[in-house]
């Protein structure tokens, strides 16, 4: 038997799964299947598998667990999403007691569910990740789970439960659990309590109260009746007219009261109604008196404030004494005001403005006037600017001639009409600018100039050296 498993690689991790059917000791291949082993160890550290049942048992094939919901449709990985399969060529499902990852019948859909083989299962090789093997006599605990009674859906009638997972050897020292096992238990307990409280609330809401029972202690029994409460209006009842309001219905209209109790309190009700009517009449009279008094007082207050304002203006000098009776004078005045008279006089004295205001002249007349004025202006410009050498008429003569034409006051400043716009063009300057703008630069000529200047500098330097040497020889 030992020769069959020589090709399997060595394990580097170890755990013990404590179940209600006994412990299961498992060694893990962390080097060959690092994702699957790290996922199982991290979830075990978080207490994810605590209380999880073996929800599926297939005799002679596998037992499956790892779903917190117990339905076989749940579970999540430590990575937050399904992780990839890790198929190793030296790991095969060739015997019982091997631990593999369950998926959704598709590749790379591993989450938290796992299974143990009860026999050789070659059909699982290269389809599921094989990451652990059972060692020691704990294999018999797995076989006892495989002998459980099951229903038609391969669910055990009394499913074994995982109490916890102990990590004996951890090949990954960098695993940081998202939550501790104690915190997860506290969360689960809180969920259970919240669910119970919600169920109790639903039960209380569904419970029906019998409000038709009235208890009067030792008095005679009164039949069960349904009580209807009349809603009161939001208006003030003391300001309503008794004639407009309908009489309130007695309590007997809403509650079936025995005949012995119907006549109780009738006299007190009548007295209260009479008193309410008298009080209502007195309240209305008082309201009218207050309303009349308030209007009179308001008018008096307005007049007093106007007098105070007028005196204040006189004191500050903003308004003279004559302004106080300005309103009375404006009422006594008849006929057009001074402003209206001045406007009428202005419109009469201005010929064109008056004509335009009265609309007596048409559009054609306005155009004729415009052409006449333009012709006059053209003649004035022609007279003001004669050719050189001719005698120019004086400004006074032009003004007299203009007065003779239209008898209107004109401006005698006509010197601006004699100016002419002249430009002085410098041909030499234009030529120089054109040469500068369109000059052609020859790089060879520039190089020649640089070479010539360098040659001259060297020659002058040699001459200076000779003169200094000559001076030294003379000494």
Active site residue 128: yes
The CA-based angle 353-358-361, given to 5 degrees, is 80
Which structure tokens are listed for 152?
A: 């038609």
Q: By the 8 A CB rule, do 162 and 49 touch?
A: yes
For 103, residues 6+ apart whose C-beta sits below 8 A from its C-beta are 82, 85, 109, 110, 111, 128
Q: Give the global pTM.
A: 0.43
Give the per-residue pLDDT at 254.
Answer: 47
Stretch (H or E) spanning 162: strand 162-169
Tell me which of 28, 41, 124, 130 is the catalytic residue: 124
Active site residue 61: yes
Hunting for tokens 């009700």 — which residue is that? 269
Give the per-residue pLDDT at 139.
Answer: 96
Q: By the 8 A CB rule, do 164 and 23 touch?
A: no
Q: By the 8 A CB rule, do 132 and 99 touch?
A: yes
Tell me which of 103, 126, 148, 188 is the catalytic residue: 103
Hunting for tokens 């009235």 — which residue is that? 214
Q: By the 8 A CB rule, do 76 and 114 touch?
A: no
Tell me which of 39, 55, 96, 128 is the catalytic residue: 128
Tell me which of 40, 41, 43, 64 is the catalytic residue: 64
Q: By the 8 A CB rule, do 39 and 83 touch?
A: yes
Give the per-residue pLDDT at 473.
Answer: 41
Active site residue 172: no
φ/ψ bin of 174: left (φ > 0), alpha (ψ from -120 to 50), beta (otherwise): alpha
Active site residue 379: no
Tell me which of 39, 43, 55, 61 is the catalytic residue: 61
Give the per-residue pLDDT at 229.
Answer: 55
Q: By the 8 A CB rule, do 19 and 160 touch?
A: yes
Give the per-residue pLDDT at 358.
Answer: 56
For 158, residues 6+ apart whose C-beta sits below 8 A from its C-beta are 148, 149
For 440, residues 6+ apart whose C-beta sits below 8 A from its C-beta are none
Q: By the 8 A CB rule, do 82 and 173 touch?
A: no
Q: How far apart are CA 69 and CA 75, in angstroms?
A: 8
Where in 29-155 does DSSP place strands (E)?
56-58, 62-65, 98-101, 114-117, 130-134
Active site residue 423: no
Q: How far apart are CA 62 and CA 142, in angstroms?
A: 9
Tell me which of 40, 41, 43, 56 is the catalytic residue: 56
Where the chain has pLDDT below 70, the residues are 1-6, 208-278, 318-335, 349-364, 385-415, 418, 439-440, 463-475
Q: How far apart are CA 156 and CA 258, in angstroms?
A: 67
Q: How far apart are CA 13 and CA 78, in angstroms?
A: 18
Give the per-residue pLDDT at 337.
Answer: 76
What's the distance, CA 430 to chain centroid? Answer: 67
Give the per-residue pLDDT at 349.
Answer: 65
Give the per-residue pLDDT at 334.
Answer: 60
Q: Name the packing angle between helices 363-384 and 395-406 (round to 10°).
A: 160
Q: Which residues pair with 53 in a beta bridge?
A: 161
Active site residue 115: yes
Tell me which of 83, 114, 115, 131 is the catalytic residue: 115
């Amino acid at each position: 038997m030992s020769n069959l498993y020589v090709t399997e690689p060595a394990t580097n991790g170890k755990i013990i799964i404590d179940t209600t059917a006994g412990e299961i000791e498992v060694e893990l291949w962390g080097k060959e299947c690092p994702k699957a082993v790290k996922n199982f160890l991290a979830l075990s550290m978080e207490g994810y598998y605590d209380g999880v049942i073996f929800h599926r048992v297939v005799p002679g094939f596998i037992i499956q667990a790892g779903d917190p919901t117990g339905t076989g449709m749940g579970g999540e990985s430590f990575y937050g999403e399904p992780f990839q399969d890790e198929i190793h060529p030296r790991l095969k499902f060739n015997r019982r007691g091997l631990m593999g990852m369950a998926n959704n019948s598709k590749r790379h859909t591993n989450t938290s569910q796992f299974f143990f083989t009860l026999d050789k299962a070659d059909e699982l090789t290269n389809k599921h990740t094989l990451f652990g093997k059972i060692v020691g006599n704990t294999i018999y605990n797995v076989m006892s789970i495989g002998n459980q009674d099951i229903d038609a859906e391969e669910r055990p009638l009394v499913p074994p439960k995982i109490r916890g997972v102990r990590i004996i050897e951890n090949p990954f020292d960098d695993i940081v659990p998202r939550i501790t096992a104690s915190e997860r238990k506290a969360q689960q307990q809180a969920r259970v309590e919240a669910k119970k409280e919600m169920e109790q609330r639903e039960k209380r809401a569904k419970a029906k109260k019998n409000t038709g029972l009235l208890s009067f202690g030792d008095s005679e029994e009164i039949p069960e009746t349904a009580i209807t409460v009349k809603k009161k209006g939001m208006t003030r009842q003391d300001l309503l007219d008794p004639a407009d309001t309908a009489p309130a219905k007695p309590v007997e209209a809403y509650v079936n009261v025995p005949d012995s109790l119907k006549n109780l309190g009738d006299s007190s009700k009548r007295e209260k109604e009479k008193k309410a009517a008298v009080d209502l009449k007195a309240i209305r009279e008082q309201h009218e008196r207050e309303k009349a008094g308030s209007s009179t007082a308001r008018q008096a207050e307005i007049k007093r404030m106007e007098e105070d304002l007028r005196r204040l203006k006189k004191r500050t000098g903003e308004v003279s004494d004559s302004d106080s009776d300005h309103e009375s004078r404006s009422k006594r005045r008849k006929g057009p005001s001074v402003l209206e008279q001045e406007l009428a006089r202005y419109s009469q004295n201005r010929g064109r403005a008056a004509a335009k205001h009265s609309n007596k002249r048409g559009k054609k007349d306005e155009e004729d006037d415009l052409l006449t004025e333009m012709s006059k202006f053209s003649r004035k410009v022609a007279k003001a600017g004669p050719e050189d050498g001719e005698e120019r008429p004086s400004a006074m003569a032009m003004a007299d001639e203009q007065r003779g034409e239209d008898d209107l006051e004109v401006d005698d400043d006509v010197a601006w009409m004699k100016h002419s716009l002249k430009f002085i063009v410098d041909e030499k300057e234009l030529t120089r600018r054109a040469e500068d703008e369109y000059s052609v630069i020859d790089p060879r000529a520039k190089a020649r100039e640089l070479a010539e200047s360098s040659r001259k500098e060297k020659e002058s330097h040699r001459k200076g050296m000779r003169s200094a040497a000559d001076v030294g020889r003379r000494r």
